[in-house]
């Protein structure tokens, strides 16, 4: 069995213009001081990583790793959540998602898609140069506006959506394969890959591509009312990354899963800081230990109530306390009879060979 690594922290929700949140070096120190051992880094901020340079220069990546390690942590993975989102965008979201891309491609969906695909491919190469084995992204979505089948969906539209999603992602997955890095989709509402059924449908379209894998985040399953423990049983071979994020779901006579268009504070389903929600993390960490998951346990802080720095500080200890150092011996070895194969056959009443 293997012991997973951690705690680590995803930096996206903490990055800002003021110290210590304005550079990778100062955030690495901040994270280490809180007790984290790793940082997960989004690619979009050049104060943290120049992904083009990282894809092209081993020297730059060695220097970047050195800067981070000098502060007491290491880079666990890179993230292209925003860039992956732009690989596939339904026109209903064009204006909103333009904000994820450079101004030079605003109002030009085709150019925006090309830019996004290039960024994710660069991240694959950069991950390899940094010595990383996994990467997290979003799948994007053509079909999300049709999540509820009213008006009736046109025959074949879902098939076409997944076929086009696969056409765009297969060449990207091939680049990840070339560089020996797993591409892990965060299974997330708003994406075409938002549950097990949709992941399986995509996987079939890319012919079970070995690099098409999963980032597991139970908070998104709480909000969907999906069995997040059975999900691990079913997909553990494809789960290569883990976001440790809590959530709660408290439906009422007025609202349920859809939330009534309300802000996060007032929704039936909302994200919480670690330990403040309903996720059974003891069972999750136990399952990962049993299935030999040896990736990183990465805190993603999202909470509509608690201050982010308190959530980070408490989260480091929470993850540390939940990581199971797997045993290297059987608990009942003390009672072993030490019998040989011949004796075993005698015990079973079988003929001695």
DSSP string, 12-68: TTT--SSTTSSSHHHHHHHHHHHT-SEEEEESS-TTT--HHHHHH-HHHHHHHHHHH
Q: What is the pLDDT of residues 19-63, one digit of tens each?
A: 999 999 999 999 999 999 999 999 999 999 999 999 999 999 999
How far is CA 193 from each of CA 128, 141, 188, 257, rounded to the nearest angstrom? 25, 8, 7, 18
How far is CA 173 from each of CA 116, 132, 133, 338, rounded to the nearest angstrom? 14, 16, 14, 50
Q: Is the Cα torsion angle 30, 32, 35, 37 positive or negative in sign?
A: positive
**Look-up of token digits 């995509």:** 202
Give me the domains of the chain, ranges plus CATH numbers.
5-347 (3.20.20.150)
Would you say 166 and 192 are in contact if contact means Cβ atoms under 8 Å apart?
no
How far is CA 350 from each of CA 340, 342, 344, 346, rounded to the nearest angstrom? 14, 9, 9, 6
Q: What is the pLDDT of residues 312-334, one digit of tens each?
A: 999 999 999 999 999 887 766 65
Q: Classify residue 148 by its DSSP letter.
A: S
Nearest to 170 by CA among 88, 234, 53, 100: 88
pLDDT band at residue 191 using 50, 70 and 90 as cut-offs: very high
Nearest to 281 by CA among 327, 315, 256, 238: 315
State the pTM of this model.
Answer: 0.95
Q: What is the pLDDT of residues 67-101, one digit of tens each?
A: 999 999 999 999 999 999 999 999 999 999 999 99
57 class by beta-carbon count within 10 Å (0-12 exposed, 13-18 middle, 19+ buried): middle
User: What was the pLDDT predicted at 1?
Assistant: 78
Would you say 234 and 291 are in contact if contact means Cβ atoms under 8 Å apart?
no
φ/ψ (deg, to 5) at 309:
-70, -35
d(CA 225, CA 216): 15
């Amino acid at each position: 069995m293997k012991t997973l690594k951690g705690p680590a922290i995803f930096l996206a929700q903490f990055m800002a213009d003021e110290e210590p949140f304005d550079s990778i070096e100062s955030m690495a120190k901040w994270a280490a001081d809180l007790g984290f051992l790793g940082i997960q880094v989004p690619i979009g901020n050049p104060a943290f990583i120049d992904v083009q340079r990282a894809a092209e220069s081993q020297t730059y990546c060695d220097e970047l790793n050195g800067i981070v390690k000098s502060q007491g942590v290491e880079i666990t993975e890179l993230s292209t959540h925003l860039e992956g989102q732009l690989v596939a965008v339904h026109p209903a979201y064009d204006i909103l998602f333009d904000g994820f891309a450079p101004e030079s491609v605003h109002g030009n969906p085709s150019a925006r898609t090309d830019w996004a695909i290039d960024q994710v491919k660069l991240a694959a190469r950069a991950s390899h140069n940094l010595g990383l084995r996994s990467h997290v992204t979003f799948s994007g979505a053509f079909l999300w506006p049709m999540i509820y089948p009213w008006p009736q969906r046109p025959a074949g539209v879902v098939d076409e959506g997944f076929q086009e999603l696969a056409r765009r992602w297969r060449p990207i997955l091939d680049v990840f394969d070339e560089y020996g890095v797993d591409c892990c989709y965060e299974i997330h509402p708003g994406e075409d890959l938002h549950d097990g059924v949709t992941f399986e449908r995509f996987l079939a379209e890319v012919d079970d591509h070995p690099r098409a894998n999963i980032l597991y985040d139970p908070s998104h399953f709480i909000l969907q009312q999906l069995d997040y423990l059975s999900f691990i049983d079913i997909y553990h071979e494809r789960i290569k990354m883990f976001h440790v994020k809590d959530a709660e779901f408290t439906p009422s006579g007025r609202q349920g899963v859809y939330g009534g268009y309300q802000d996060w504070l007032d929704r039936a389903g909302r994200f919480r800081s670690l330990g403040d929600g309903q996720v059974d993390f003891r069972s999750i960490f136990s399952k990962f230990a049993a299935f030999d998951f040896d990736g990183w346990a990465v805190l993603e802080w999202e909470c509509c109530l608690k201050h982010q720095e308190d959530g980070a500080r408490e989260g480091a200890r929470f993850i540390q306390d939940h990581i199971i150092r797997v045993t290297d011996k059987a608990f009942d070895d003390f009672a072993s009879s030490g019998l040989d194969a011949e004796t075993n056959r005698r015990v079973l009443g079988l003929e001695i060979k």
